[in-house]
């Protein structure tokens, strides 16, 4: 939810020039490219579960960079960590589903999980926009940080992989 508002926050609140927006994307895509190489290697060695933990960590660091460093350097950090979070999610998401699902139902699980995620992915930016208008950008960043930390805690403490 928060990542959709990084650029708007930078332009409206921090008064960062619009010419910097392309640089933000460059930072994000560079981090995503480099992160994918490194995280893909780690996935091959340790499996996708640890990379999902990294995803939540990178999401938290992304939002934290904006909250703790409310200037252009915090925005660069936020987009860098966002690129790493996206890379780790792309690399590990379906692999983790494949590890957790019974072998004969992998295709069903992948379809089901993606169908369940779709509505929340569509609605989250709308809720974020409402919260930003009603409260502030910082409010949605704090909500996003708390939800990332909560999901990381659930992943670490509650999700148990089953040996096949």
More confident residue, 24 or 95: 24
Whether the CB-CB separation of 144 and 1 falls below 8 Å is answered with yes
Looking at the predicted structure, is the pLDDT value of residue 87 above 70?
yes
CATH number of 3-157: 1.20.1250.20
Looking at the predicted structure, is the pLDDT value of residue 157 above 70?
yes
Which of 12-16, 31-35, 56-60, 112-116 bottoms out in mean pLDDT, i.e. has the lowest?
112-116
Looking at the predicted structure, is the pLDDT value of residue 138 above 70?
yes
* Count of alpha carbons within 13 angstroms of residue 8, beta-carbon side: 15
Residues in the chain: 164
Structure confidence at residue 113 (pLDDT): 84
| Spatial separation of the C-alpha atoms in residues 143 and 133, rounded to whole Å | 14
- Give pTM, 2 decimals: 0.89
Q: Residue 107 in 3-state DSSP?
A: helix
Structure confidence at residue 121 (pLDDT): 85
| CA dihedral sign, ordered 20, 25, 31, 33 | negative
| Spatial separation of the C-alpha atoms in residues 156 and 162, rounded to whole Å | 14
Q: Residue 2 in 3-state DSSP?
A: coil
Kindly list the domain boundaries of the chain, sorted by start residue: 3-157
Structure confidence at residue 161 (pLDDT): 63
The whole-number average pLDDT for the span 6-29 is 93
Looking at the predicted structure, is the pLDDT value of residue 140 above 90?
yes
Structure confidence at residue 94 (pLDDT): 81
| Spatial separation of the C-alpha atoms in residues 111 and 105, rounded to whole Å | 10
19, two tokens = 């010419």
């Amino acid at each position: 939810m928060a990542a959709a508002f990084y650029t708007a926050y930078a332009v409206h609140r921090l008064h960062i020039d619009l010419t910097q927006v392309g640089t933000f994307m460059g930072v994000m895509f560079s981090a995503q490219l480099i992160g994918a190489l490194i995280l893909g290697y780690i996935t091959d060695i340790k499996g996708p579960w640890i990379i999902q933990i990294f995803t939540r960590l990178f999401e938290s660091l992304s939002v934290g960079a904006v909250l703790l460093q409310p200037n252009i350097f915090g925005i660069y950090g936020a987009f860098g960590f966002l690129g790493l979070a996206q890379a780790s999610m792309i690399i590990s998401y379906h692999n983790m589903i494949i590890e957790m699902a019974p072998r004969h139902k992998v295709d069903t699980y992948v379809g089901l999980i993606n169908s369940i995620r779709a509505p929340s992915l569509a609605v989250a930016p709308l809720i974020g926009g409402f919260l930003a208008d009603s409260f502030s950008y910082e409010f949605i960043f704090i909500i996003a940080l708390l939800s990332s930390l909560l999901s990381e805690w659930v992943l670490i403490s509650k999700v148990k992989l089953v040996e096949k």
